[in-house]
Amino acid sequence: MAIDGATVLVSILSSIVAGIAVAWTNHLLTLRLEKKRDSKKRIDDLNVQRRINAWKTLERAATIGTTQYDPDTIAKLKSDFDQAFAEIMLLGIFREVELADRYAEMASNGGEHEGITNLLNDLRDTLRAELNLQKVPPMNKYFRLLRIAKIK
């Protein structure tokens, strides 16, 4: 059986085309997976930053009743608190939203401290888990150094 030049050429060309198709498909799949991974990483990074900011804001605002702040600072803390609380309600995971809602219920009935403590501890636990940090005991007290302005 003789193999003619056309058969060899078709065989070589079909191998090349198949190789190019496989390489192109592999390239497209790799790009898609990288894009998906990068998107997830960006979302994870944003969530970590959002939780850090929310924790700092809520923790600082939790000291309003126990620390002497000037009226402007109190107004800013309350405004920042409202924004952080709204972000938790909008973007938080189920547990964060549940605790924020429970805090709102407690705050409306005068039991703010326990509700905010639970929310802060959950935010901290979630952050530490996401960052692969060791667990720590729950926080029950908030500490601020008293800063008294000099009177001129």
Q: Structure tokens of 150?
A: 């000099």
How confident is the model over 8-26, as a mean pLDDT?
92
The one-letter amino acid code at 141 reads K
Give the model's confidence band at 127: pLDDT under 50 very low, under 70 low, under 90 confident, else very high. Answer: very high
Centre a 10 Å sphere on the Cβ of residue 47 and count the other Cβ atoms it contains.
16
Helix ranges, 1-152 (H) = 5-61, 71-91, 94-108, 112-130
User: Exposed, middle or buried by CB within 10 Å (0-12, 13-18, 19+), for 85?
Assistant: buried
Q: Where are the domains of the chain?
A: 44-130
Poorest-pLDDT segment among 8-22, 25-39, 66-80: 66-80
The reported pTM is: 0.67
Q: Which residue from 119, 147, 7 is spatially nearest to 59, judged by alpha carbons?
A: 119
Using an 8 Å Cβ cutoff, are 58 and 121 in contact? no
| Both tokens assigned to 29 | 């799949």
Given a cut of 60, whether residue 123 has pLDDT beyond it is: yes
Compute the residue count for the chain.
152
